[in-house]
Structure 1
Amino acid sequence: MKLVLAFHGTRDPRGGLVCEEIADLVRLRMDVPVEVAYADVRQPDVRSVVDGPCIVVPVFLAAGYHVRVDIPEQIGGRPDVVLTSPLGLDAVPVVRERLREAGFRRGDALVLAAAGSSDARALASVRRAAELLGASAVGYVATATPRVPEVVDEVRARVPGRRVAVASWLLAPGTFHGALARCGADLVSEPVGAHPLVVDVLLRKYYEARALLLQTA
C-alpha cells in the first residue's frame, strides 16, 4: 500500500529539498511506493496524490489546522485512505540532538521557537515539546504570540550572564527559520530536517496503520 508523506509546503527551495530528502531516506527502507504531497503552497497537493489505497502520514510537528482540517478535506473521506497522527512530539529527540550540534551547554537558558498556529491544541503540543526539552519559555515566529525576539529578551533579563539558546521547532530551513538568526539569541539550533530518527517515526506510523487496516479488513 502506497505511503504519502504530507508536508506543509514552502516557497523556499531549501524546504522543498528537505522534504524530498526525507522521502528519499524513507524509500531506501521500504518496498512500497512513497510519494510527497503538500497541504498548502506547493504542488502536488494531497488530493491529487491519493489516487488509490494509501496511508497518509503528516510530516508536521503539531496537529494544527492543516492536519485536522485541510488534509482530511483533501482526502475527501475516501474509505481506502488512512490518515495517521503527525510526526509531532516524536521529533523531540531530534531537536535535542540539533541543540547539542549547535553548542548547547548545561546552564544555558532555553527557548523553544515554533511557527505558531491558530489551533489551541497545536499550541498545547508545542508547550509540551518545550517541557520535554526543558525549555523555560516558548516563542512563535508567526500566527501566535509572544514572538521569539520578545521571549529571548525576557529570558535574558531573568537570567543575566547566562547564554540564551533557541531550539528550532521547525521542520526545514526557510523564511521562518531564517528569522531566528535575528532573534537575539546566543545560539540557534538547526531545524529538524532529514534525520534518521524522523525516518524511523514515519516508518513506524506507516506500518502500524497498515497492520491495523489489515486487522479490520
Structure 2
Amino acid sequence: MKDVGILVLGHGSSLPYNKELVESLAQMIGKNHPGPVRTAYLNMNQPTIPEGLNSFAETNVSRIVALPLFLAHGVHTRQDIPQEMGIDPSKRRGLLKVGGRDVEVICAEPLGVDECIAALACKRAEEALG
C-alpha cells in the first residue's frame, strides 16, 4: 500500500481548531498507513482539494483515496468533492494527471455507522457527566 496515498478531506471552517483536528487525524492515519497522507479542505482552509491532490506529485503513488471526514453522505460527498477533484460524481473515481502522470483517484465512503463511532459517542456522553 506504499503506492496508495490518502487525502484526508475536511469541510473547512473559519475556526482554527477545525483545521487542527483534521491535521491531527491525518497524522494518526499516517501512523497506520505506509503511503503518504495529506489533507485538503472543501471550503475556507488551505490546501484546497486540487492543491491537496497536487501535493502527491512528488510521490510514487499510483492511486489516491479521498477520505472525507464526514459522518454521512450529502451534497458535499455526492457532488461537491468529486467535482472539486475533477471526476464524475456518479462514478466516484477517475484518472487524473498528478505530477504529469495518470493517477487513479477514488472517493471513499463517509464514516457512516460503525461500532467505533458508537463507542466514541458513549465515551463523550460519559465525559460530559464528569
TM-score normalised by length of structure 2: 0.73
Moved over 4 A (4+): none
In structure 1, distance between residues paired with 2:43 and 2:77: 11
Displacement, 1:101? Answer: 1.4
Q: State yes or no: 1:54 paired with 2:57.
A: no
Correspondent of 1:64 among 39, 64, 74: 74
| 2:45 aligned residue | 42
| 1:176 aligned residue | none
Displacement, 1:83? Answer: 0.5
In structure 2, distance between residues paired with 1:92 and 1:39: 26
| 1:4 aligned residue | 7
Q: Which has the higher helix share?
A: 1
Structure 1 residue matching 2:26: 3-state secondary structure? helix
Give the number of the structure whose alpha-carbon radius of gyration is greater: 1
Residue by residue, what CA displacement relative to the aligned partner does 1:95-122 show, whole Å, maximum 9, x if unpaired?
Answer: 1211111118xxxxxxxxxxxxxxxxxx
In structure 2, distance between residues paired with 1:97 and 1:9: 25
**How many residues in Structure 1 have an aligned counterpart in Structure 2?**
104
1:1-217 matches, within 5 Å, as: 1-51=4-54, 53-77=63-87, 78-79=94-95, 80-90=104-114, 91-103=117-129
Unaligned runs of 5+ in 2: 57-62, 88-93, 96-103
- Please tell me the residue identity of whatever aligns with 1:87: L
Unaligned runs of 5+ in 1: 105-217
In structure 2, distance between residues paired with 1:3 and 1:73: 18
Quote the RMSD (CA, aligned, Å).
Answer: 1.6
Q: Which has the higher strand share?
A: 2
TM-score normalised by length of structure 1: 0.45
